[in-house]
Amino acid sequence: MFFATDISVTVWIINKNKKARTIEKNGEVVNLRDRTGEILFIDYRQGGHINEEKYIELNAEDRAKIADTYHQWQRVGSTYSDVPEYCYSAKKDEISKKNYTLLPSKYVEFIRRCFGKKW
């Protein structure tokens, strides 16, 4: 996404309307759950594809996976669940205990490995 920097990139999607509601999206009726006081963290360091230059790029499949995770997290009765090394839905009280830091790595569980094996 950002070829001029070697630092990690964080993309924030800010939505102040997290109340439960019903919307129409692409001709489909979608029931959104109340997400007040919740933040979805997605850490995609393990994803993407290395292009010919050394940069990680997100192809259509990567973007679709991230978008699907976000949309499933929003919906009533969805298949969303926290996934180690990928995503985590944190409650406001949990975030306040971490001094309101919004780094995904503070919430998304990472499995420690030693020489390719889990510790």
pLDDT tens sequence across 75-107: 999 999 999 999 999 999 999 999 999 988 899
Percent of the chain with pLDDT over 70: 86
Q: Which residues contact 35 (CB under 8 A, 6 or more apart)?
A: 18, 73, 74
Average pLDDT, the chain: 87
> Each residue of 69-82: pLDDT tens digit?
999 999 999 999 99
Query: What torsion, rounded to 10 degrees, do the Cα atoms 13, 90, 110, 73 define?
Result: -60
Is the pLDDT confidence value at 10 over 80? no
Both tokens of residue 68?
């699907």
Model confidence, pTM: 0.82
Phi-psi region of 65 (alpha: psi -120 to 50; beta: other; left: phi over 0): alpha
